[in-house]
Amino acid sequence: MKILKFFCPVSLLLTFSGGLMAGPHTFVWDAKNSFISFAMNEVTVTGGQIDGVYKVTQSTSEILEEGSVLNKRCVFFIEEKPEGVDSIGRCEVKDSGGDEFYTVIRRTRGNLTDGGLGEMEILGGTGRYETFKTKCSYRETFFPEDPKRVEAVGSCGS
């Protein structure tokens, strides 16, 4: 199992009736996967679920308060080819009140050994997250001394 950590400074403006500044925030996502993987000719195919905790570590946001802890669950499909990786994950992030927002995570650069650059998009959600939308970029890093660990550092904004 791999452990994922996401550090993502965010600065965005949400526009709806009256307007609401979400404000900059950072978060850490620690998770473990239940992936399966197999080789098909020159392609390694990997897929499965990742479950973890999404914690807001710093924030001036009215939507995601500092110290908030949410559950994040994703399904990923990854193809690693000689020319690079093709990865997509769709996720739900749910707070203790049951409101949730959704993300899509994509990476087409790098590989599953050294990591690489990717994009994450927050797509809105339910309740307080209905208009919570932005695009993000991140760098994913893998650690040979701990093959189950993955760290992603990124930034989001409007």
- Supply the pLDDT for residue 16: 34
- Supply the pLDDT for residue 10: 36
Helical ranges in the chain per DSSP H? none
Q: Is 38 helix (H, G, I), strand (E, B) or coil?
A: strand
144's CB contacts (< 8 A; 6+ apart) are none
Q: How many CA atoms lie within 13 A of 54 on its CB side?
A: 22
Q: Which helix (H) or strand (E) holds 106?
A: strand 100-107
Per-10-residue mean pLDDT, the chain, length 158: 42 35 64 86 92 79 82 93 92 95 92 82 92 81 71 66
Q: Which helix (H) or strand (E) holds 122?
A: strand 116-125
Find the farthest-apart pair of alpha carbons in the chain and give their distance in angstroms, rounded: 55
- Supply the pLDDT for residue 156: 67
Contact in structure between 135 and 119 (CB atoms under 8 Å): yes
- In whole angstroms, what is the distance from residue 134 CA to residue 157 CA? 6
